[in-house]
Amino acid sequence: TMPILTAIFAAVAGIERLHSRFWLAAAVSFAGVCLVAFGAQSGISGDLWGYALALFATATWAAYSVAIAPLMTRYTASRISAWGLTVGAIPLLAVGSPQLASQDYGDLPSLVWLAFVFAVLAPLFLTNLLWFNSIDRVGPSRASLYTNLQPFLGAVFALLILSESITALQVGGGVLIAAGIVLSRRDQPALVPQETTP
C-alpha cells in the first residue's frame, strides 16, 4: 500500500502527475507483495489492530516522503535529515527519559553499544540520505515502489541467516515486485516542476 498511498498524496498535493503505467506497475508490485506474504509458512496474522497500526505507519511515511520532495529542490539531503532526526528525537526523549534515567549503562555489553552505533549510522542516518536522494531523482511515488522489495528481501535474508525456507510462491512474488519496478522505470518523469522565487 505504500506506493499507492504515496501516489495519492503526491497527486493531491500537486507534486506529481502520474500516468496509467505507474498504477499498473503499483498493482503488479502489490500483487507480488501479497504472494510473498501468503507464501510464508508461518501464515498471516489475523490481528486487525496490528493491521491498523501498520496501515497508519505506512500512511505517515507516505505523507512524510511527499513532504520531502519539494524541500529537496532547496536543501541538501543531509540538512533535511539532520533537522528531521533532531525534531523527531525531541518527543522520543520526552517519552523515554524515565527509562534513560534508570538504565545502568555500565552493565551493557560492548555488543549492545556496537548494535546501537550500527542502528544510528546505517538504518537511520544512511538510509535517510539514500531515501531523500531517491525521492529527488525519481519522485516519491516511484521511489516508494522499491519499498515493496522489503518483504521479499526479508525472506531472502531469513533464508541466508536463519536457515528458514523460502517458498516458490515467495520467489514468484519477488519476480512480480521486480517487474513492477521495471515497468515504472519505463514511464515518463512525473515530477511537477516547482516554481522558484527570484
pTM score, whole prediction: 0.79
Residue 25 lies in a domain: yes
Residue 29 lies in a domain: yes
Residue 100 lies in a domain: no
When divided into structural domains, the chain yields a total of 1
Q: Is 158 exposed, middle or buried (0-12, 13-18, 19+ CB in 10 A)?
A: middle
Whether residue 125 has pLDDT greater than 90: no
Residue 99 lies in a domain: no
Residue 197 lies in a domain: no
Output the CA–CA distances (angstroms, integers) from residue 58 to 6, 64, 135, 197, in the order listed: 9, 10, 16, 33
pLDDT tens for residues 128-187? 999 999 999 989 999 999 999 999 999 999 999 998 889 999 999 999 999 999 988 765
In which domain, by residue range, is 30 found?
Answer: 2-94+106-185
The mean pLDDT value for 71-95 works out to 91
- Give the other-Cβ count within 10 Å of 75's Cβ: 15
DSSP class of residue 164 equals -
Whether residue 188 has pLDDT greater than 80: no
Residue 179 lies in a domain: yes
Residue 191 lies in a domain: no
Q: Which residue has the cell 528531521?
A: 84
